[in-house]
Amino acid sequence: MKTIHTKAKHTEWLSAEDMHDSSKLWLSELSFYKEEQIFFEDLIKSYTLQLIDNKHFEESKSIVNRLSEIVKQTQVLINAVKSHEKELSIMVDGIDQLEEEAVYRKEHRNLIELIGEFKKRYQSIKKTLFDLIKLVIKESKQKRFLK
């Protein structure tokens, strides 16, 4: 998974509660994406014959490969967020561990970037897949009308 790290011009102070809420939201979104990916796989199976047609084969292959990669990335991110969430105790244990807390905040900011970039890629793949399926359905209906 490629990321582009940028230097933030300002760093917002994130409380332990804010970071916990973010992590819960991320897990919820990623779990939804995982379920949605199962739907996409079923959708692709439903239109396999049309998608492997010579006209659409290369584009279909590319989308399926990208979807397969995004499925793996989703699981990696879920694991990373769960691990991050477990380490939250560093922030709320009442012990001043400035270095560890700074590392945790930095990891949280990195996750913000990673998940933001992941969402953009995911939406792009989703749009491309739906556009292709829509095209295949239209062509299928046109063939039926011509018969």
Tens of pLDDT, residue by residue, the chain (147 residues): 555 555 444 345 678 889 999 999 999 999 999 999 999 999 999 998 888 888 889 999 999 999 999 999 999 999 999 999 998 887 777 777 788 888 889 999 999 999 999 999 999 999 999 999 999 999 888 777 766
Q: How far, rounded to the nearest angstrom, does the alpha carbon of residue 62 sit from its chain's CA centroid?
A: 17
**Burial of 30 by CB count in 10 Å (0-12 exposed, 13-18 middle, 19+ buried)?**
buried
Whether residue 86 contacts residue 19, with contact meaning beta carbons closer than 8 Å, is answered with no
Q: How far apart are CA 78 and CA 26, in angstroms?
A: 8
Whether residue 16 contacts residue 95, with contact meaning beta carbons closer than 8 Å, is answered with no
Q: What radius of gyration, in Å, describes the C-alpha atoms of the chain?
A: 21
